[in-house]
Structure 1
């Protein structure tokens, strides 16, 4: 792994939730790193390919990343308001994806599933402000 990938991974391990490439780039530059945005994107792609970071697309289509907490395939439940994320297993989703692939003769089926909602804390805060 490259020094750039190691540095990007370190930022993500220190972060609470998902972060965009631009956020990571800005943090690294503020910390004095001489790194370009393209290098950050390449590092994130490499880390994602290696399974060391999770990547998801937000409701508005932006890719965001965080250090993986689990080595096994999983999905994410993400709060639309605060970004709080929970890793969840999805055996029903796994069976469904395999069945859909098989129905059409596909093999080696992979998938990405992200579920968005409002976490209990944000729901309580919203209810309290009414």
Structure 2
């Protein structure tokens, strides 16, 4: 089941390009604060509120993945562009994109059973990776 995403292309502002570049350089998921700090180290001061707005716009456009940590903080990373789910290490934060055809079938069946249409979903599996175990 594809997720609804905004179809309008995003305007390539200086801040948006800087945030996008910082995400592209990150090894995994990053918080808005981590992205702002990375930009500051590169000499590109962007306010935290601007980083949050930019990340929200990029997530809405489907250009980045957003998930919540166990304590509720939103974290972001560059997206592969196709619908997928994540397997995330709670120790080091490493994330692996995984497809879940069984999840897609289940979500569709549950939606149909309850009379819902145009349903979207996210799924994050959290555990400890082999390197951290």
Which protein is bigger by CA-based radius of gyration? 1
1:48-105 Cα deviation digits (max 9, x unpaired): 111111111111111100111x221000000000111110001111111111111111
* 2:105 alignment partner in structure 1: 95
**CA RMSD for the aligned pairs?**
1.0
SS at match of 2:86: strand
CA displacement at 1:41 relative to structure 2: 0.6
Equivalent residue in structure 2 for 1:74, among 84, 108, 128 = 84
Equivalent residue in structure 1 for 2:57, among 42, 46, 49 = 46
Q: Which 5+ residue runs of structure 2 have no aligned equivalent? A: 1-10
* 1:115 alignment partner in structure 2: 125
Higher percent of residues as helix:
1
Does structure 1 retain, via aligned residues, the 8 Å contact 2:18–2:44?
no
Matched residues in 2 for 1:3 and 1:93: separation? 38
Does structure 2 retain, via aligned residues, the 8 Å contact 1:5–1:46?
no
The structure, 1 or 2, with the larger RCO (C-alpha pairs under 8 Å, 6+ apart) is 2
CA displacement at 1:34 relative to structure 2: 3.1
Q: 1:36 and 2:47 equivalent? A: yes
Equivalent residue in structure 1 for 2:94, among 77, 84, 104 = 84
Instruction: Give the TM-score taking structure 2 as reference length.
Output: 0.87
Instruction: Give the TM-score taking structure 1 as reference length.
Output: 0.89
Matched residues in 2 for 1:45 and 1:27: separation? 18
Matched residues in 2 for 1:95 and 1:59: separation? 26
Matched residues in 1 for 2:117 and 2:14: separation? 36
